């Protein structure tokens, strides 16, 4: 993974984290926490989509995978916190 791809991946992960924080209302982790969850969720989402054989092209596909990963991660974290 080149430097440009890594930067793009991180930016998309940050956007996905912000979107996931807005979608999953309730007691959040704050802006920085949601952004970190988004970046980690981006890795999880891309990994999950790869396991399922779902490949989206371009930035939009990466954003969808990152958003799904961030939503799953936020859901799991909130379930554990209860």
Tens of pLDDT, residues 2-50: 888 888 888 888 888 888 888 887 666 777 887 888 889 888 888 888 8
Instruction: State the pTM of this model.
Output: 0.84
The total number of structural domains in the chain stands at 1
User: Computed over its alpha carbons, how large is the radius of gyration of the chain?
Assistant: 12
For tokens 């981006």, what's the residue? 42
Residue 1 has pLDDT above 70, yes or no: no
Average pLDDT over residues 74-78: 86
pLDDT in tens, 46-69: 888 889 888 777 888 888 988 999
Residue 72 has pLDDT above 80, yes or no: yes
Domain holding 22, by residue range, is: 3-81
């Amino acid at each position: 993974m080149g430097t440009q791809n890594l930067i793009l991946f991180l930016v998309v992960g940050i956007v996905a984290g912000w979107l996931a924080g807005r979608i999953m209302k309730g007691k959040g982790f704050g802006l920085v926490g949601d952004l970190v969850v988004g970046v980690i969720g981006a890795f999880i989402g891309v990994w999950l989509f790869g396991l399922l054989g779902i490949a989206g092209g371009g930035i939009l596909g990466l954003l969808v995978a990152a958003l799904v990963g961030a939503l799953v991660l936020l859901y799991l974290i909130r379930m554990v916190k209860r």
